[in-house]
A and B are shown apart, each in its own frame.
Chain A
Amino acid sequence: MAAVELEAVTKRFDNFVAVDNIDLEISDGEFFSLLGPSGCGKTTTLRMIAGFEFPTAGRLSIGGREIGLDPPNKRPVNTVFQNYALFPHMNVLENVMFGLLMQKVPKDQARDAAAKAINSVKLEALLNRKPNQLSGGQQQRVALARALVNEPKVLLLDEPLGALDLKLRQEMQSELKSLHSEVGITFVYVTHDQEEALTMSDRIGVMSEGKLLQVDDPTRIYEHPAKRFVADFIGEINLIEGSVDSSGTVRLGDEVIACASPAPSGSQSVTIALRPESIDLTVENERIGGAMNQIPGIVARRTYFGDSHSYDIETSGGTLSIRRDNRPLNTIFDPGQPVTVSWHPDASNLLED
């Protein structure tokens, strides 16, 4: 059963469309990330699920029940806010107990449950501190405990690690991930950090300008982006124009190449997406077995990155950027040297705009 379901949901602010006709089903227990650049409508989508905003059009259900215009306090979801939004006049324990008390859980029972939740985020020593006496990471944990203690059906997290420094961020990422598998609650996680989304999520929804462009698991999002925007937004990628003839054969410059999917019928040109690390380089005319795409090229530039070399290779279809790991026996190519560029057909994806 779907934990959260959006059907043709649109949100307009005056005449500005912040969320544009989104369809989305998030499964029970899933770690789902909404990924996209600033202003693409991630927070607005999350706020509609939480009940802070109401859709202009479309239907929204949680746990199979349509929630329509239910206020936030009538929804089985809890939110971890970007700035934590801890109550400054309450200590850690009171913050975490708040949701339970509002649900009329008896006080001593609420206290026990809150203490347990605080233990699970390792803050048992700081029960009586006020939020302004806590570090950013500690505040983050309180915000998590305050939400999770209510055992919501869905936990909404809006860039919860945005304010933390890199090291703490990585630490919290793995903590969040293990917390997720412990509690088995559906997480909807908003981020504009692609690495965070790739490493943590079961599935990712990539958004741009209010539209949901692609929903897939991290591998497919990275290795088989469907849209130009998705390919470009996540990681480095070569985007090159190829031509298509009437029989559907795709060419890169003069060379015929095979791709992960057939070219859309009727099109004359396509955008081919190719990750720099999925391309191999060999010396000129050295043939490689199997069904690899092979095209000739010339090294235009080599850049040293410590763990790898980056090459710009000129081919008849344009310049390709290539990454090669720096292993002891790997050949190093010099500018001006003719080479063979090869890759598996599965690595070249044809993109829609």
Chain B
Amino acid sequence: MSQTLRTGKWIDRFLRLNAWLIFAFFYIPIFVLVIFSFNGSSRVTVWGGFSTRWYPAVFENQQILSALKNSLIVAGISTVVSTILGTSVAIAIDRYRFKGRKALDGAIYLPVIIPDVTMAVMMLAFFAQVFRLIDSFGPRFQLGIYTIAISHIAFNISFVAVVVKARLGQLDPSLEEAARDLYASGWLAFRRVTLPLILPGVLAGALLALALSLDDVVISGFVNGSGGTTLPVYVFGAIRRGVSPELNAISTLMLLASTVLVLTSLFLQRDPKSKQP
């Protein structure tokens, strides 16, 4: 009896320690990254006193600025397009009973679960076929930032659809019926009742799409072609030439941006019932 109690206590202690270890495992690398981005020395392994000089340096590097510009264009386009398409898909699955609805409902999770590399190879193969087809009509297409944007749209639709679908699931279906009962056309019932109520979910999906697009390196790296370097792809390339304090600074900024986006997205995905007006 007392023996099992003692064992219980040890397990308890072990689990608590384990939780702290995992916590440390997650956050120590982040700490190291952030601290060394404020390193005065240009040698990354040696601490040369506190300095913020790498941050302005980031914004004077033309390669970084052009990569950042590419990233923002790709993220902007893919977020807007995938939010609209993903929301429509979620509504179609939630609302309408059509042939193949079940299959679509399952398929929508596919890009969420398949590995990035697989997705990248798929997109590359797809573009190769499409280009061959288009080229046979005359114009010559090449990989570039628009192929990155299309690839990002392809996986972001899923993430948006999954988030919006969760929100729709919490929506009382009689609300839209009430709107129709009160003389609203199908479109007006959507515009005045359903859309405002799922808007937090749509925004959450959009922010998630934005964060995923800004963070993606594998897929972008495969389908970028020349001149289509995004920020993560640039960082990935630069790191092979060696870690620099400048890279630490960019990475810290990217970390900050995606943390804000993802936290805001999670905040918007809270259960609407627990929210005070």
Contacts and interface: CB of A to CB of B under 8 A. Distances in A.
Interface of A: 50-52, 71-73, 77-79, 81, 83, 85-89, 98-99, 102-103, 130, 132-133, 146-147, 150
B140 to A, nearest CB: 51
A158 B218 CA distance: 56
Contacts of B185: 73
Interface residues of B, number: 20
B199 to A, nearest CB: 9
Contacts of B182: 73, 78, 98-99, 102, 146-147, 150
Given A88-B175, A98-B192, A133-B277, 18 more contacts: A50-B177, A51-B180, A71-B186, A72-B177, A73-B181, A73-B182, A73-B183, A77-B181, A81-B174, A85-B172, A85-B177, A85-B178, A87-B175, A98-B182, A102-B184, A103-B183, A130-B277, A150-B182
Nearest to B197: A89
Contacts of A133: 277
Contacts of B58: none
Contacts of A50: 177, 181
Given A89-B197, A102-B188, A79 B175 contact: no
B179 interface: yes
Contacts of A130: 277
Interface of B: 172, 174-175, 177-186, 188, 192-193, 196-197, 272, 277
Please report whether the interface of chain B is mostly helix, strand, loop or mixed according to DSSP: helix
Counting from the closest, the 7 A-B pairs by CB-CB distance are A99-B182, A85-B178, A102-B183, A85-B174, A72-B180, A102-B184, A73-B183
A99 B179 CA distance: 8
Nearest to B180: A72
Given A88-B197, A132-B277, A83 B181 contact: no
B178 A81 contact: yes
Nearest to B272: A88
19 contacts: A72-B181, A73-B180, A73-B182, A73-B184, A79-B178, A81-B177, A83-B172, A83-B174, A85-B175, A85-B178, A87-B179, A88-B197, A89-B196, A98-B179, A98-B182, A99-B183, A102-B183, A102-B184, A147-B182
A81 B182 CA distance: 12
A147 B181 CA distance: 9
Given A85-B172, A88-B197, A71 B180 contact: yes
Contacts of A98: 179, 182, 184, 192
A207 to B, nearest CB: 21
Contacts of B183: 73, 99, 102-103, 150
A133 B188 CA distance: 26
Contacts of A102: 179, 182-184, 188
Which of B183, B192, B193, B197 is the most central at the interface, judged by chain A CB atoms within 10 Å of its CB?
A: B183
A162 to B, nearest CB: 14
A242 B105 CA distance: 61
Contacts of A150: 182-183
Contact of B177 (A52, A86, A88, A99): A52
A147 B272 CA distance: 26
Contacts of B177: 50, 52, 72, 79, 81, 85
Which of A52, A73, A150 is the most central at the interface, judged by chain B CB atoms within 10 Å of its CB?
A: A73
Which of B181, B186, B192, B272 is the most central at the interface, judged by chain A CB atoms within 10 Å of its CB?
A: B181
